[in-house]
Amino acid sequence: MNKVALVTGAARGLGEVIARKLHKEGFRVAITGTTAASVNPLANALDPSGETAWAGALDIRSKTDFEAVRDALGEKWGGTDVLVNNAGRSKVAPVLEITPEEFTENVDINLRGTFLGCQVFGPHFRERGYGRIINIHSLAGHNGGTATGAHYAASKGGVSTLTKVFAREFASSGVTVNAVSPGPLDLPVVYETVDPQKLDTIKATIPVGRLGDAEFIADTVALLASQGASSVTGACWDINGGLYMR
């Protein structure tokens, strides 16, 4: 294992926190966003030399883009060991006001992107006899959402199913596929997208009484990305403060 990890949607928010954590854990980290310029600052902050951090553009709706990043990391670091499908889009909208175009756009980003990442990197990992895929799910995919739109919730629900399908496909070849399902997190994007009054109401309904810690989500991703996580596959780890229990 070369300890090379690709994190999608890492320009800011949870993706940035995950990329920083994996780099701290000794991974060489490929950080992607919609443009290379959006992730260059993080890559430079992690390693200005570029030896252990790489920034690149990746449209997760494009299989060709995933293949190009796979090949680029093969040339730079000899291959990839870990894929974190983090990139996504959260939209707040009443269900009856979501247009067909908005629904399709959200599903393309949140569900199609996860599908393509698994489809491209899964065989790459299988050929190498080792790999870890961690899909970032969401509480909304379990309970229909507390502060998001139906298109987001539906797409994230699909992520949990894809996680199981790909886990079964690659289980016998040293490749694990798991999901991490956060509830509302204490991140700027949450405060930007959720009305303050609604957010106060949500906080009041969380059994533990507070928003989730993005650093702990990153710790969980790092654990699932480790060599010792070989017996965990097809799982969805819920971290939501008790909002959803099963």
Catalytic residue positions?
152
Compute the distance between CA of residue 67 and CA of residue 54 in angstroms, rounded to an integer. Answer: 16
Compute the distance between CA of residue 133 and CA of residue 122 in angstroms, rounded to an integer. Answer: 8
Strand partners, 178: 134
Q: To 5 degrees, how large is the angle CA 133–CA 165–CA 120? A: 50
Q: What is the DSSP string of 177-213?
A: EEEEEE-SBSSHHHHHHS-HHHHHHHHHH-TTSS-B-
Through-space distance between the first and last CA atoms of the chain, rounded to whole angstroms: 35
Mutual angle of helices 113-128 and 63-77, in 10-degree steps? 40
Compute the distance between CA of residue 70 and CA of residue 46 in angstroms, rounded to an integer. Answer: 21
Compute the distance between CA of residue 103 and CA of residue 155 in angstroms, rounded to an integer. Answer: 9
- 114 Cβ partners below 8 Å, 6+ apart? 60, 85, 135, 159, 162
- 143 Cβ partners below 8 Å, 6+ apart? 243, 244
Alpha-carbon dihedral 118, 59, 24, 41, rounded to 10 degrees: 180
